[in-house]
Amino acid sequence: MALTIGIDVGGTKVAAGVVDENGKIIEHLRRPTPAQEPDKVAEVIAEVVRELSSRHTVDAVGLGAAGFVDETRSVLRFAPNLAWREEPLREKVGALIDLPVVVENDANAMAWGEYRFGAGRGESHVVCVTVGTGIGGGLVLDGRLYRGRWGMGAEWGHTQMVPGGRPCGCGNQGCWERYASGSALVADVREAIAADPARGARLLEMAGGSLENAEGEVVAAAAHEGDPVALEAFALLARWLGQGLADLAATLDPGCFIIGGGVSRSADLFLDAAREEYARRVVGRGHRPLAVIKAAELGPAAGLVGAADLARTR
């Protein structure tokens, strides 16, 4: 059975695993990411590859990283959470290990993993939306991962939803991820509590009395308790998410949307409402099939599994 190594390179961790051709992780390792030292990141990647390949016979390595990966799947053009600018990642890692290396955007890798082994099984046209700190994306069309001419396609999070709206880290204003991401959820909650502390008293208590501690997990826990501020924030996120999915449907007409990322762990709090908003907003409603909207199935391992499979099918 052919084995490959998949690696998910994030701002805080390098997660690696040996993956078989059925998407099963045989062995898994994690290491902290030296995010501000690009050369050391390559060394950490090489170390985990050497350790895993010492115990398993592997054919190739797939790297999934948050950032713009060029059309040759070798150079990290820009990574917002790592000190990588025009980083020849495939060349650097390849020089440290004796295996073929493929580099891919992490959301693309996640989309491929879900298409092959998760919520997208059996679908031919899949749009993946990762809802976390920001919004990322991946697109499978007719069973092929679509990357765009320069390898930088499917960046849904930076489509403009509100002209002149909230400033975005990309340098533009009003991007979708400023309204339908985990960061937006937290910002909405903090704004609501600051405006009416009495109404947000329970949520603030759960956050240890500090708005700075009112992070996503606290907001989700409060919503499950029925806290009105937290529930309203999730309802607002659902409306923005559903609107964005309707806009994507007008352009891409997929059969399936898959919602992944950290916020998807709380899908029970917003996904049904997002489905309803999508159905209300999609163009041609009443005269077209509606895409299925599913939560991702593979969880945090989706990018790792997808990167490994892309290395296998390189």
Are 39 and 185 in a shared domain? no
Q: What is the pLDDT of residue 119?
A: 97
Helix (H) or strand (E) holding 6: strand 4-9
Q: CA-to-CA distance for 119 and 165, rounded, in angstroms?
A: 33
Q: CA-to-CA distance for 146 and 155, rounded, in angstroms?
A: 12
Beta pairing partners, 79: 84
Q: For residue 15, tell me if it sits in a domain.
A: yes
Are 213 and 106 in a shared domain? no
Are 130 and 106 in a shared domain? no
CATH number, domain of 271, equals 3.30.420.40
Q: What is the pLDDT of residue 304?
A: 95
Residue with tokens 């994690």: 30
Contact 127, 159 (CB under 8 A): no
Q: For residue 181, tell me if it sits in a domain.
A: yes
Q: What is the pLDDT of residue 186?
A: 96
Q: CA-to-CA distance for 60 and 49, rounded, in angstroms?
A: 10
Paired sense of beta strands 144-146 and 256-260, if any: unpaired
Q: Which two tokens stand for residue 245?
A: 């999915």
Domains: count for the chain: 2
Are 189 and 83 in a shared domain? no
Mean pLDDT, the chain, whole residue set? 93
Q: For residue 118, tell me if it sits in a domain.
A: no
Are 91 and 189 in a shared domain? no
Are 47 and 181 in a shared domain? no
Q: What is the pLDDT of residue 79?
A: 79
Q: What is the pLDDT of residue 10?
A: 81
Paired sense of beta strands 135-141 and 144-146, if any: antiparallel
Contact 138, 107 (CB under 8 A): yes
Are 146 and 59 in a shared domain? no
Are 77 and 141 in a shared domain? no
Q: For residue 273, tell me if it sits in a domain.
A: yes
Q: For residue 179, tell me if it sits in a domain.
A: yes
Are 21 and 56 in a shared domain? yes
Q: CA-to-CA distance for 88 and 57, rounded, in angstroms?
A: 26
Are 278 and 137 in a shared domain? yes
Q: Helices in the chain by DSSP H: which ranges?
A: 38-53, 89-96, 106-117, 182-195, 201-206, 216-225, 228-252, 271-281, 302-312
Q: What is the pLDDT of residue 1?
A: 67
Residue with tokens 């898959």: 258
Instruction: Give tens-digit pLDDT for 71-128.
Output: 999 999 987 767 789 999 999 999 999 999 999 999 999 999 999 999 999 999 999 9
Closest CA to 59 of 116, 19, 96: 19
Domain carrying residue 43: 4-112+301-312
Contact partners, residue 222, CB within 8 Å, separation at least 6? 202, 203, 206, 229, 230
Q: CA-to-CA distance for 204 and 158, rounded, in angstroms?
A: 31
Q: For residue 253, tell me if it sits in a domain.
A: yes
Residue with tokens 């592997």: 58
Q: What is the pLDDT of residue 81?
A: 66
Are 166 and 286 in a shared domain? yes
Q: For residue 91, tell me if it sits in a domain.
A: yes
- Residue 36 identity (one-letter amino acid): Q
Parts of the chain with a pLDDT under 50: none
Query: CA-CA distances (angstroms) from residue 59 to 48, 102, 104, 290?
Result: 15, 12, 17, 40
Q: For residue 117, tell me if it sits in a domain.
A: no
Are 202 and 142 in a shared domain? yes
